[in-house]
Structures are given as structure tokens and as C-alpha cells.
Structure 1
Amino acid sequence: SEPRIELAEATLAQAFNAADPGADGWLAACDARDALAADALWRVAEAAVARPEAALIYTDEDRIAADGQRSAPYFKPDWNLDLLRSQDFVSRLAFFAAPLLREVGRLDERFGDAARYDLVLRAAERLDAARIVHVPKALYHRHVASEEAVHAMDPAEYAPEGGERALQAHLARGGIEATAERAGAGFRVRHALPAEPPLVSLFIPTRNGLKLVRQCIESILEKTLYPRYEIILIDNGSDDPEALRYFEEISARAGVRVLRDDSPFNYSALNNQAAAVAKGEVFGLINNDIEVISPDWLGEMVSIALQPGVGAVGARLWYPENTLQHAGVVLGYRGGVADHAHRRLGQGDAGYFGRAALLQGFSAVTAACLIVRRALYEQVGGLDEKHLKVAYNDVDFCLRLREAGYRNVWTPHAELYHHESATRPSDLSEAQIQRFLGEEGYMKQRWGELLFNDPAYNPNLSLAIEDFSYAWPPRAAKVAAP
């Protein structure tokens, strides 16, 4: 009786491929048992009107049981190409503009359950980020069979069967030398290194800290499989005789240099000084309290850093007791500048919808272990040694890369221990407090509202705690009822 509903004996792909959206309409494919929010079409139309350049629109989603019970909302980030290559986070409800479909085609049934994922990947190849719009509201409700299942969310649900084939085809079309495979909570892309990998210069600032810095350097030398790197140790005024003896000893080793700088501690300046004399095409910023776990850490990070459009690359860092220390940086936590996502998560926990275990884009990554191409480091002027001598210089550096058009990437496949801040003085003296407040104030003045609207996060998630808890009240923009 509803004239806008047409019944047809067809598969989802057949129905989608036969539908005519007109010259400038939109098409979406939904599973028959799933449900749309009452205002779903209104909100998507609203987004299309507000962003006339949009060609692909996706929304947040949750689960719904037969009795109407809803749970497990997936509050997604804004467009995140690297996360898409790790899971189909766009997933069930995506609206495609008719002109885009005329360019990329419709659903390819050869990919089975991954046909929609394949279509999103093909769309991503034609669109820049400005034309992909995220509506941060749970407008799609995924059906589950029972009340028990409504809470039993598995991140692998966002890695549809056949998705690795769709992903491999996507990589091939882009001329990207990489392999796609199913791994853990989603997919993993392994990028190939060049036949002759570039020389990497690793910068390690320290003042004394013999036990930690020796552990750091020896773990790099003993465990790292990557064949071409040099270590530049920046000795910032060390006066411990044993440390000085060790620095003299390692300076005689091939591929290790020691620079002496007795000026007051300025983390940014120390790294910039190393950059000025480095020989490598790729730079690595390494804290003196880092310890290598995975032998392929450097190859993994370099292979990503060499990809077109990639800025800084960060690693998965663990506290010594094997809880998570760094899985990407989220802006705006606790009213400040930034902090680490999923901090203190236990080993084996994939985190919020798998996001603690999937390669993805973040606005920033920590310089405790950061890889970046030399050309990009120089393009944005290195670390800010004038305004950010100690705190937030890595966040600012990453945001300047982002401002220049690059995306920063975090990988869980490069794993190291971070014996965090073991040699840094605590910020308790009046001078240290004033220095920190000044650097925090500079960041807020420089980056403004971006610090509280991180595109790699979601306004429905809390900034009060790093575990992806729900925000209350939500920070999503309030909109009028339809």
C-alpha cells in the first residue's frame, strides 16, 4: 500500500544494481532484517544539502534485538582511509551519489558478503576526503538474533568474508605494492619495502640514564631486522662517568654517532640538531626509554612512511607490565591538548571495535617512537624548539603535517616497550609548571577548536577518559527535529 516501496524477488546486489536514483539522487543498500532510525533519511538528506560536494555519506550504527533492545553503538571516526583498509567501518549504511556510481559501477557479486566493502574501496579511489561525509549519529540498527547476542560484539564482524580479496584488488588498482590478509580483528596490509631500503637515522636524546639508554640502543642493535639505519645519540649534558664511558664505547661502533649538547633541555632542539647532521632519507625519533620487542618494527614503520600521502608513523608501545601505553593520540582529552587512546588496555584486548589492534589514521602519534620521511620533516620545519621545548612538540608536529595535507598513521604491528618518562624530571617545580602551562596555552591558541573536534575520534565519545567511553551529554552538534 506504500507507493514508495517496491517488492522484487532479487538479491540485495541485484536490487541495488537495478535501482535508478535519477541523475542526482542517492542509493543505499540495507539488509532486510536491519532497521533505520526514524530520522535516518532526514539526517542524511540534511548532510547532503549542507555539503553539496558530498558523494559518499555514512553514519554511526548500533545493534538491535528482536525485542527492540539496542546496544553496542559504533561511534566511528570521520573519513579514515587506513582504518578502512583494516576494517569495513563504513559498513552497513552508506549512501552513494548517482554520479559517483556512474564512475565506479555498482555492487560486484563476485565479492559476496564483501561486495559493499568493495564498492566503498572503489569509491575511495575516486574521492578526496572532503567529498566523504560522516553523520555522527547511530542511524542504522544491525539485527541480532537474540538478547544474548546483542552484547556479544566481535570486531571481526567488520571484516566481511571475501574482504581481503576486495582489499587486494583495491591495492592493485592503486599500484600499491602490498599484500592483504585477514588478521585478528580485521585485515592487515603488509607494504613492501623498496629493493634497496632507504637509510634511516634514529635520534635518541639522553642525559645520563645509562641503564635505560643502554637497554634502548642494545635492543635496537640486537633485535632490529631492518638492514640500513644509523643511530645518533644526543648527549644533553651527561655527567655520569659510567654513562660517558658507554657513550664513548658506542661511538666507536659502525653506524653509531654521539653528539654533545650542554644547553638546557629542549627536546625539540635536540632532535632538530640531529636532523641537521643525519644522513638518512627517513628519520626516527626515539625516546631513550624505548626497548624493541618486535624485530620487524622498523621495516613495518618505514614501509608505511614511504607510502604517498603518509606523514608520521607511530608504533604500539607497551608499559613494562604489558598494558598499553600508546595506540595513537586523541586530541582534547580531559580539557587539555591530547593524550593516548586506550591507555592501560590489557594485552590481547582489541579495544573499542578493534581500534587498539588495527592499523589506522590518527591526528597525531607520539614521538617516543615516530618515523617520518626526511623531506616532510624539513618541509614543516621540524619540531618547534621555540614554543614547545618539552611538551606537545610531537602533537604539534603531526598537526602541521596534517595541515600540509598528509595523514598520520598508527600501526599495531611495530611493538616496543616504553619505560615512560623514567629519566625526565616531574613537572612539580614552579618553573616546570609555568613552562608546561605556557606550552599548553600555545597549543590551544595555535590549534583552537581542532583540539576538541578530533576527526579520528567521535563527538559521542568521552574526552574525560581514554577508554572510548560514551560522552554525556554527547558533544555531537545538536540539530533540530525533522
Structure 2
Amino acid sequence: MIRADQKAQNDFGAGECLDTELITRNNDLQALLSEQERRIYDLLQQYHKNESELRSVYNTPIGKIVRYYKTIKQKKKTQKNAEKNDYNIWLNKYDLLTEKRRKNIIAEIATKRESPLISVFMRLNKRSLSSLEQSVQSVKAQLYPHWELCIIAEASQHTEAETAIRKFVENDARITRHVKKETNTISEASNAALELAGGEFFALLESGDTIHPLALYHVAQEVMRYPEAGLLYSDEDSLDNNNKRVNPFFKPDFNYDLFLCQNMVGNLAVFKTSLARQTGGFKRELDGAQDYDLALRFYEKLKPEQIRHIPRVLYHKRISRSGTIAATETQISGNQEAALLAVNHHLKRTGIEATVEKAPEYPECNRIRYTIPNTPPSVDIIIPTKDMANLLKICVLSILAKTTYNNYSITIIDNGSKEQNTLDLLKQWKNDSRIRIIRDDETPFNYSKLNNRAVHSSSADFICLMNNDIEIITPEWLNEMMGHAIQPGVGAVGARLWYPNATLQHAGVITGMYTGTGHAHKKYPKGNPGYFGRACLQQEYSAVTGACLLINRINYLHVAGLNEQELTVAFNDIELCLKLKKKGLRNIWTPYAEMFHHESLTRGRNDTPEKKELAGKELAYMQNTWGIDKNHDPAYNPNLSITSDDFSLSWPPRILDR
């Protein structure tokens, strides 16, 4: 028996209480409560029409029970989320190196005729001697034996550290020491080690940090599997003061737009030695972000497929005693300034007209502002609608009142509106030169066909697909989206959409989730940066929602637009993005074009047998044609869940030979 809080007591009467176990174990009662919950949700969706009915339902005894039932469900969900994200349990289950696997790997390595030599550069800092020893021991513990370790040390290193280093060098011929002169920067010392390195590839290791026993084995495997690889990186986590592994960072495959915002390559980073020498090695003026800068210059020389992501935690970064990875605030800001400079140099080298600044919601990362031409491309904002004058009015007036972009028009496709207030509103806009109205009474609702017809009749350079339930928030939304859309290699650009209650509705679409697709960070509250900042940083996703989607009209026509046959209602925007991706184009999501999305109120929910049947057919088409229920999404990570959109752990991970 669990007594309700004071509010619940006031609802049910003083001294009364609910039997939680009775509610959660009784299937019939749960079904009744769920049905009432759905009813309340439906009323919420039509709140503007049914405020009095909604109020009456909330005040009935069953309404009060439903509210308490939702509290119980939320508590259970919170507890379940904590359990499913217990990294320690996950490691013990999926990251144990058994003796059998150890022997198998050693035997496998012995059969390889050619194995790449990997140099490890370990930069010594002022951490404790015990941390130094742990770093060296983690290299010596590698199952892959073909490595060399170069310790880059200060000339005036502490006596104990000097003694330990000398001992390491004397006891293992694979370990060497390079003395960093006091006048040398870390980049200059690293370049000296680079010149002496004998490895085909080199990895970077900070003293105090450690690498997984299989780190170099997995690197070598990837190199042998992809001989053209030039840059490799892995997932990483942190070591707390008790040597406990915490804070796993499971990264996407290489994501250029995210890479400009944060050094997602991070650790473990492995570079091709010859290319590092050709590109000039580490740059002294970028100390603090020298590794980031080198990775940016590698990107400029490599094809995307030559940058390899190993989706395994191979690097463990030591957290300082203060509880942070960086030692001081000065170091953090210093590294950030160097990172901004590194990205700025990259933009200039590649001829991209843009500026870089601190990301407003995640200041340790970057925001890219692309320059719009003096004569901006024309944009046709296409909005299909039927009745729901109040929604359409909010949408159109918010565009007209807030949009600062000065070369756009609006096309409204009226798909058989009958309500007089809608007809009056459309008549009112008929003489507005900024608005074109297309009447289509003959076509049954087919979202794809309605949009395709409008695009074919448009002469604009770019098309912006928009739902009639969108409400603009940021005045520069179209400038921001256009900045991305005009970049070479970009397909579709999507916006950040919020529910009216200020929780996240769209921050990029992940394929393979829920046997179909899912929205990253869905229902995250405003102000939450998401998983390592991914809810507030510009980045590539496999798809973005068509509720607000900007695309070059030529690209739209080149991939035959939206699918009018198999995808009349849902997934047509997803397939459009996948077709663009198949052509080698990137689909970008930006958090700096923000809108409210009063989701699908015109058409409503899939609450009839006909709608449910159609939804099932469209999902089956996407699964059979595009394999969205099976294929790995490169914007995601196989160690993260596909049954939840909150970037929680996957049980088990979707990678083999663990």
C-alpha cells in the first residue's frame, strides 16, 4: 500500500490511499486506465475546442485515478531508465575479456603474416607517478604485440617519474623516451617523436589515461580490413578517482558537420604516419587543439570512407581530482579558443565562407555561421492544408511577421477545405503578392502528390516543405537553414521543432529505431543539451522531418520528389532524405532554426482501421525497400538503444565478436 501525496489525498479525500500493486497487477484495471489516458490525450489534442470537456474529465473520480496512475508509471519509468543505463552492469555483461577470447585473439594474431606496426605517443604531464605507470602498463598489456611506445617527457621531469621512465625503457625495447626541451611546445615535441616513429600509424595517449587491452588489436584489424584508411577513431569513456569506468561517449560514424562543432574524433585517435608528415605534423600556434587541427587537415586530404570509426570503447580518460577532465578553467577556455582557431583555419583552407563561434547552449563546442550571398536564393514555402483555419493562420502569420530572409514566397495547397472560416482566410490572402493559393478538391489526401504538384509548378531555387501546424520561433530560421543548404554536398536541411510544452519534438531522425525510425532526444526539455551536446549542435542525420525541410529544387526533382504511390502519408520525407543520401548528399539538422510543432492536428492520429492499415503498409514498404529496421544508422552507434530515443545503452550492443 502506497499513500498518495497531499495533492492526491485532497483529490481522493483525507486519509484515503491507492493500492499501487492492485493497479499495476490488475490487467483489466490497467486497460481501463490506459483507455481513459488516451481519451484525455485526444482531448488535449483538440484543447481549443474541448476545454470544458477536458476539465470535466479531469475532475471525475476516474480522471483523478488516471492522474495518479500516470505518476506511478513515471516513477517506474524513471527506475527502469536508471537500471538500463547502468554502465557498470553493461560493462560486466558485454565488455569482459574472457580467458578463452584472450587465447583466441592471440592465436589469431599469430596467424597474420603482415601486421602493421603502431606507434603510441604518450605525452607526459604533471599527473601522479601512479597514473603514469597505469598508462604505460595499459600499453604493455595490449594483446596486439606490434607496437612501440614513445614517452614525450620534460627535461626537468620529477626524479621519481624520471626513474620510472628509465626503468620502462630498460625493460622493454619497444619503449623509447624523447626529452622535450623546456622551450618546446607540446606540438614541437610531438613532431620530434613523429619524425622518429617507425609505425605505419601512430596513436595518441595522454599520461594518466589508459587504453583497453584490445585497443591496438581492433585498430590493426580495421587497418587490415581497410588498407586505405588514413584516420581511425574509437569510442571512449572516463576513469574516476576509484579507477571506475564512467561517462561512455558512444560516437557516430564520421559526421563532418558535427566534427566542425566538436572534436568527435577525440580518443582513441590513430593517424597514418606518412600523411601526418606530409601535412606538416602538429602546429605550434594551435597548442591545446593541435590534435583537432591535425584531424581537420587529415579530413581535407582523405575521402570519407578513409576515416574509420571503431564503435568500441578503447580509450579511458582520467578525470582529475576536481571531477573534471580538464585541470583548470583557464585550460578549458584556452583549448576552446584554440579549437575555434583550428576550425576557422580549416574553413579558410577549404574556401567555405563562414564564421565560427562558441555554441550558445554548449559553449565548449562550436557553432558555424554560413554566409548567405548578397542576392539570396529564392525559396518557395509549400504548405498543404485542409480547414483548421486557426492553425494555418498561426503558421502563415508567424512566417510573415518573423522571417528575416528577404527572398521567399508561400504556396498554400488547399486540399478541399469546407469550413467557412478557412475559406474566408484563404480569400483574405488571395491578393497578397507573397502568397500563392492552389485549390485541389479532386485529390484524396496524398501528402506526396500535393507537394510534388506544387514543386513542379514552382520556379524557386529552393523548396521548403512545411506543415500547417508549424509556428516560427527564431526570425533567422530560413537564413540558418539556407546557410547549410547552399553548401556543396548538402541534400535536405531540417529544423529544431518543439512541442508547445517546450519539449523537443524533432532533433534529427534515426533509422532502425522502433523497427522503423525515431526522433533523437524526443521530449527532452528545453535547456537540456542532450547526449554530449547532440541536442544543440549542427550535425548530419540520415533523415530530417518534412514538417520543415529545406531542399534545392533541382535535387528534389533529381530524386523524383516524394513517393506518391507507396508513401502517401508517412515516411515520404524519410525516403526523400534516404534517396538524397544514396546520391552522396548529406542531410543536416540545425538547432538554430526553431519552431513550435502542433503535430499532425489537421489529419489526426492513426485511430481508425483504415489509417492503421495504411500506416502498416507504409512501414512495411520502408522496411522491405530501405531496410530501416535492419541497417545501421551511421549517425548513431550500435552500443546505443534502438528501443529508446534517449541515447541510452543497448542491451545487448549490436556488434559482433564481443
TM-score range, shorter chain: over 0.9
Contact 2:491–2:585 (CA under 8 A) maintained in structure 1: yes
1:160, CA displacement in angstroms? 3.7
Distance apart, 1:21 and its partner CA:
7.2
Report the counterpart of residue 71 of structure 1 in structure 2: 246
* The one of 592, 610, 615 aligned to 1:436: 615
Give the deviation of 1:334 after TM superposition.
1.6
Q: Quick one: distance in 2 between partners of 1:53 and 1:180?
A: 31
Give the alignment of 1:375-386 within 5 angstroms: 375-386=554-565
What are the within-5 Å matches in structure 2 for residues 236-385 of structure 1? 236-262=415-441, 263-335=443-515, 337-385=516-564
315-324 or 427-436, which deviates more: 427-436
Residue 352 and residue 46 in structure 1: after superposition, are their counterparts in 2 closer, same or farther (change >3 A)?
A: same
1:42 matches 2:222: no
Segment drifting more, 281-290 vs 139-148? 139-148
Q: 1:16 aligns with which of 165, 190, 205?
A: 190
Partner in structure 1 of residue 234 of structure 2: 59
Cα pair 1:89 1:158 within 8 Å, conserved: no
Structure 1 position 111 matched with structure 2 position 286: yes
Q: 2: CA distance between counterparts of 1:310 and 1:99? A: 31
**Partner SS for 2:634:** coil
1:100-139 matches, cutoff 5 A = 100-139=275-314
Matched, 1:176 2:352: yes
Deviations 1:366-412 (A, max 9, x none): 00000011111011110111111001011100000000000000000
Residue from 321, 338, 342 that aligns with 1:162: 338
What secondary structure does 2:651 align onto? coil
Alignment partner, residue 463 of structure 1: 642
| Alpha-carbon distance, 1:175 to partner | 0.6
Q: Cα deviation per residue 1:435-480 (whole Å; 9 max; x = unaligned)?
A: 111111110111126754100000000011111001111112325x
Over the matched positions of the two proteins, sequence identity in percent amounts to 43
Between 341-350 and 247-256, report the one with greater CA deviation: 247-256
What TM-score do you get using the length of structure 1 for normalisation? 0.95
Matched residue SS, 2:367: strand
Contact 1:300–1:413 under 8 Å retained in 2: yes
For 1:195 and 1:160, how far apart are their aligned partners in 2?
A: 31
Kindly indicate whether residue 387 of structure 2 is the aligned counterpart of residue 208 of structure 1: yes
CA contact (8 A) 2:268 2:315 kept: yes
SS in 2 for 1:432: helix
What's the TM-score once normalised by structure 2's chain length?
A: 0.70
Q: Determine which of 272, 284, 292 is the counterpart of 1:97.
A: 272
Higher helix share: 2
Letter in 2 for 1:289: D
CA contact (8 A) 2:415 2:439 kept: yes
| Letter paired with 2:469 | D
Change (3 A) 1:451 1:358: farther
* Aligned equivalents of 2:481, 2:422: Cα separation in 1: 30
Question: Structure 1 residues 158, 331: CA separation in 2 closer, same or farther (over 3 Å shift)?
Answer: farther
Q: Is the 8 A contact 1:363 1:455 kept in 2?
A: yes
- Post-superposition offset of 1:7: 1.8
Conserved in 1, the CA contact under 8 Å of 2:513 and 2:629?
no
Decide whether aligned partners of structure 1 residues 449 and 47 sit closer, same or farther in structure 2, where only a CA change above 3 A counts: farther
Give runs of aligned pairs for residues 148-159 of structure 1, distance below 5 A. Answer: 148-149=323-324
Instruction: Report Cα offsets for 1:108-137 as digits up to 9, x if no partner.
Output: 121111111111111111112110100001
Q: Is the 8 A contact 1:327 1:341 kept in 2?
A: yes
Q: SS where residue 344 of structure 1 aligns?
A: coil
Are the aligned partners of 2:448 and 2:562 in contact in 1 as well (CA < 8 Å)? yes
2:63 aligns with none
Q: Check whether the contact 1:333–1:465 (CA below 8 A) recurs between aligned residues.
A: yes
One-letter code aligned to 1:284? C
Partners of 1:161 and 1:31 in 2: how far apart?
21
Equivalent residue runs for 1:23-34 within 5 Å: 25-34=200-209
- Give the distance between the partners of 2:611 and 2:477, measured in 1 at CA: 34
Q: Distance in 1 between matches of 2:218 and 2:480?
A: 40
8 Å CA contact retained: 1:118, 1:163: yes
Assess if the C-alpha contact under 8 Å between 2:499 and 2:596 holds in 1: yes
The aligned length equals 476
Checking the alignment, whether the CA contact within 8 Å between 1:365 and 1:408 is kept in structure 2 is yes
C-alpha separation between the residues in 1 aligned to 2:604 and 2:453? 22
The Cα offsets for residues 256-312 of structure 1, whole Å up to 9 and x where unpaired, read as: 001111211011111101101112101000000000000000011011100000110
Q: Any idea what SS the aligned residue of 1:96 has?
A: strand
In 1, Cα distance between equivalents of 2:204 and 2:281: 11
1:7 aligns with 2:177: yes
SS at match of 2:615: helix
Q: Is the 8 A contact 1:16 1:27 kept in 2?
A: no
Q: How many Å separate the matches in 2 of 1:417 and 1:218?
A: 14
Give the C-alpha shift of residue 31 in structure 1: 1.0
User: In the alignment, is the contact (CA less than 8 A) between 1:112 and 1:161 conserved in 2?
Assistant: no
Partner Cα distance (2:295, 2:629) in 1: 27
Structure 1 position 15, deviation (Å)? 4.0
1:409-448 alignment runs, 5 A limit:
409-448=588-627
User: Residue 198 of structure 1 contacts residue 228 of structure 1 at CA under 8 Å; is this kept in 2?
Assistant: yes
**Equivalent residue of 1:8, what SS?**
strand
1:21–1:98 contact (8 Å) kept in structure 2: no
The alignment's C-alpha RMSD in Å is 2.0
**Equivalent residue for 2:85?**
none
Contact 1:12 1:31 in 2 (8 A): no
| Gap runs ≥5 in structure 1 | none
CA distance in 1, matches of 2:580, 2:611: 28
Partners in 2 of 1:451 and 1:364 — Cα distance? Answer: 16
In structure 2, the gaps of 5 or more residues are: 1-170
Structure-1 residue corresponding to 2:321: 146
C-alpha distance in 2 between matches for 1:188 and 1:158? 17
Instruction: State the secondary structure of the residue aligned to 1:101.
Output: helix
1:346 deviation in Å? 0.8
Shift of 1:2: 1.4
Structure 2 distance, partners of 1:135, 1:157, is 29
Supply the distance in 2 between the matched residues of 1:54 and 1:157 (Cα, whole angstroms): 33
Write the deviation string for residues 129-176 of structure 1: whole angstroms up to 9, x where unpaired. Answer: 1101000011001111238558xxx9x899744111110110001111
Task: Give the Cα separation in 1 of the matches to 2:333 and 2:630.
Answer: 31
1:189–1:148 distance in 2 versus 1, CA, 3 Å: closer
